[in-house]
Amino acid sequence: MRAESGTSGRYHVSSGCIRRRAGTGNPDYSRRCTAMAKLVTGGTGFIGTALVDQLLERGEDVVILDRAPSTHWDNASHKPTIVLGDISDWPQVMNVFTQYKLDCVFHLAAMLSLPSEANPWAAFQVNVVGTRNMLEAVRLFGPNKLIMASTTATYGLDTDPVITDTTLQRPTTMYGASKVFGELLGRFYRKKFNTDFRSVRIPSLVGPLIKTRAIGQYNSWMIEAAAQGKPYSCYGLPDRGLPLIYYKDTAAAFAVLADASPDRIKMVNYNIAGVNRSVAPQEIEASIKKFIPDAQITYDPDDVVVQYFKALR
């Protein structure tokens, strides 16, 4: 990856990666962090940003590996180091692991549900090759601990009414299949190389300023549009619900799982729950209209979303 013209020297190119100290106009020329740091892939994304905030509040040093820059921490007193790079590019991944001292990896970078269905090959590169690269880098360079973001989309056909950590996984979507692969590969590394692999299966998220169009993000966008007095056309099915969780609770779950003693890790891959049942868009609409009676909400289900829900039956 090369710096594009017009970056005004904000990024420093090194061994195929661009790194920038958040909140500064100057490149970060230091070869290594002086202290052990937490690496967060996808750290400028929705959950990643919340997790990085929580780690920084604890006084942790944080390195972010992400394809997208962020100005979120520009005015923060304690800033992460942002490395612009692609997890599916092995030299770029190696660059990060050789440049910084790391004691834990939070692997959140991924292509989400709807983009994965629209471009399965790209999803394979990011979710499968990228996860393999992260596990191999942890094996070769350390640290020995990797916490991966998985998804409840790993479940699929003929699931029980109540899904547990041990429910049979038979996904019929590219996103779900790629995440099952990541879970199984992590278990392989755990058994073969004694890698301390753990993962969290995330349900649909609710929170402000979600940017990526995924299977359940209309839940948040519906609320935001109503609060801003804007009409909203929901691309989900009115009566088909998804399990929901608040995004900061999800970030906290990653931190708690990472802090757990190895002898307490029994399942390895863990479900997390927020709201204790699935919530349909029309239920959210009804709740919104209790507070904003004139909210303009209509439905125009996306064909990909319709097919996605059919695949879950």
Residue 107 located in a structural domain: yes
Residue 131 has pLDDT above 90, yes or no: yes
Residues 67 and 85 in one domain: yes
234 membership: H or E segment, kind and range: strand 232-234
Do the Cβ atoms of 255 and 51 come closer than 8 Å? Answer: yes
Give per-residue pLDDT as tens, 259-305: 999 999 989 999 998 876 778 899 999 999 999 999 999 999 887 77
Give per-residue pLDDT as tens, 158-203: 666 777 788 888 888 899 999 999 999 999 999 999 999 999 999 8
Give per-residue pLDDT as tens, 96-109: 999 999 999 999 99
Catalytic residue flag (residue 175): yes
Residues 130 and 222 in one domain: no
More confident residue, 207 or 119: 119
The residue among 192, 193, 190, 201 whose CA lies nearest residue 262 is 190
Alpha helices (H) along the chain? 46-57, 90-99, 113-118, 120-123, 130-141, 174-193, 218-227, 247-259, 281-291, 303-311
Any idea what the CATH number is for the domain that residue 40 is in?
3.40.50.720
21 membership: H or E segment, kind and range: strand 17-21
Residue 20 has pLDDT above 90, yes or no: no
CB count within 10 Å of CB 312 equals 18
Question: HSE of 244 in the Cβ direction (CA atoms, 13 Å)?
Answer: 18
Tell me the whole-structure pTM to 2 decimals.
Answer: 0.83
Residues 262 and 122 in one domain: yes
Give just the sign of the alpha carbon dihedral 235, 241, 242, 243: positive
Residues 117 and 130 in one domain: yes
Residues 84 and 134 in one domain: yes
What's the confidence (pLDDT) of residue 157?
60
Residues 81 and 103 in one domain: yes
Q: What Rg value do the Cα atoms of the chain yield, rounded?
A: 20
Residues 312 and 257 in one domain: no
> Average per-residue pLDDT in the chain?
85
Do the Cβ atoms of 215 and 305 come closer than 8 Å? Answer: yes
Residues 63 and 170 in one domain: yes
Q: Which of 100, 155, 175, 218 is catalytic?
A: 175
| Residues of the domain holding 180 | 12-202+244-276
Residues 176 and 304 in one domain: no
Residues 182 and 238 in one domain: no
| SS3 call for 174 | helix
- The number of folded domains in the chain is 2
| SS3 call for 263 | helix
How far is 266 from 257, CA to CA, in rounded Å? Answer: 12
What's the confidence (pLDDT) of residue 310?
62
Residues 80 and 68 in one domain: yes
As separate numbers, helices (DSSP H) first and strands (DSSP E) second, the chain gives: 10, 13
